[in-house]
């Protein structure tokens, strides 16, 4: 757990991988270039969001397959794949394939629940079964079983010249131990009980918590996760906030970043919706000041690694400046040594 004077274990960032509908190839290639640049800068990980029917990466596993063969060291994550749109059997095949290509660098983050705007496209997704689908955590357990190599077929052997396996192929040992899950207090407890890794983000639920400020709630969730993990010494926790260092930013960029932060600030003042979702304020400023803010943050102090989220709406030069300052200014201020 990072404190001032202690080392942050791992530094990463999360991107949506946005693109222009008219020229989607350019945006996807830009994302691959950002991943390669992150490896050059010494980041420990890069994570891709999963956006369906939007102008952000809809198939992070496919993009990470390309990144797996263009990089050699950096960890590749998804934050997160909504399993409501996936078949756990087929997803296990895809994840294992990317893990093999990357030589064991994949960190799949997943979520469950009814997909966002499900009623708008459920007939296209599940024409006959859209009202019968189970969007519970059972989908995660099925995925884990497949990744662990438990039998999925009653037949294994040879028919003519073709050989068949009883388990999902390829099988990548250790991949199941790198699956991540996130959510509120009850999900934190469940994640710990399953021995999974715990993803936190810039939004928390106040359900079941005693605290009412974001940092304290996030800390409560992390404490509950660790308390229910069978082996807390190997439990990984990643904290995700929007953190934008401005050390080498131009005055125009700083104005843009501060306007972005200010426009999103009203949603942080009180919980939103029936589940009481509370958003974190975004952090913008010089790395020295950001480090002070983070060392004072109860959630950050309990995390073993961080995955800072890049804003959706910035331009390529902005992302280059932000991740460069993260690696060369903010990371060292947090006691992080580049890989």
Q: Is residue 42 part of a domain?
A: yes
Can you give the pLDDT at residue 212?
83
Q: Is residue 1 part of a domain?
A: no
Can you give the pLDDT at residue 210?
83
Taking alpha carbons only, the member of 276, 282, 116 closest to residue 205 is: 276
Q: Which residues contact 63 (CB under 8 A, 6 or more apart)?
A: 17, 28, 31, 32, 48, 57
Can you give the pLDDT at residue 211?
83
CATH number at residue 249: 3.20.20.30
Q: Is residue 3 part of a domain?
A: no
Query: In 10 A of CB 288, how many CB atoms?
Result: 12
| CA–CA dist 205, 217 (Å, integer) | 8
Q: Is residue 2 part of a domain?
A: no
For the chain, the domain total comes to 1
The domain of 285 spans 10-153+162-333
Q: Is residue 5 part of a domain?
A: no
Average pLDDT over residues 301-322: 95
pLDDT per residue as tens digits for the range 199-228: 999 999 999 988 889 999 999 999 999 999
Q: Model pTM?
A: 0.96
| pLDDT reading at 4 higher than 80 | no
By mean pLDDT, which of 1-5, 140-144, 203-207 is the weakest?
Answer: 1-5
């Amino acid at each position: 757990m990072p404190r001032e004077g202690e080392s942050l274990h791992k530094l990463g960032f999360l991107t949506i991988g946005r693109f222009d509908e008219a020229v989607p190839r350019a945006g996807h290639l830009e994302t691959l270039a950002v991943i390669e640049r992150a490896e050059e800068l010494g980041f420990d990980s890069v994570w891709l969001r999963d956006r369906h029917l939007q102008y952000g990466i809809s198939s992070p596993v496919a993009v990470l397959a390309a990144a797996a063969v263009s990089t050699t060291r950096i960890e590749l994550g998804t934050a997160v794949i909504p399993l409501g749109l996936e078949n756990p059997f087929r997803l296990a095949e895809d994840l294992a394939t990317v893990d093999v290509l990357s030589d064991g660098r994949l960190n799949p983050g997943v979520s469950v629940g009814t997909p966002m705007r499900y009623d708008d496209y459920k007939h296209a997704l599940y024409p006959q079964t859209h009202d019968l689908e189970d969007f519970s955590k059972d989908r995660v357990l099925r995925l884990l079983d497949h990744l662990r190599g438990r039998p999925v077929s009653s037949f294994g052997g040879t028919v003519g010249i073709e050989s068949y396996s009883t388990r999902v192929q390829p099988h990548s040992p250790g991949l199941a131990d790198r699956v991540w899950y996130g959510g509120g207090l009850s999900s934190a407890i469940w994640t710990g009980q399953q021995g999974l890794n715990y993803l936190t983000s810039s939004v928390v639920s106040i359900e079941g918590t005693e605290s009412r400020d974001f940092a304290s709630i996030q800390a409560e969730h992390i404490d509950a996760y660790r308390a229910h993990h069978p082996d807390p010494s190997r439990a990984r926790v990643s904290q995700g906030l929007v953190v934008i260092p401005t050390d080498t930013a131009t005055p125009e960029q700083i104005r843009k970043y501060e306007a972005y932060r200010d426009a999103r600030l009203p949603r942080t003042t009180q919980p939103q919706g029936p589940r009481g979702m509370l958003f974190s304020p975004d952090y913008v400023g010089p790395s020295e000041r950001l480090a002070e803010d983070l060392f004072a943050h109860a959630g950050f102090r309990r995390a073993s690694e961080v995955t800072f989220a890049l804003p959706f709406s910035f331009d390529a030069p902005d992302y280059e400046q932000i991740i460069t300052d993260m690696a060369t200014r903010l990371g060292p201020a947090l006691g992080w040594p580049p890989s």
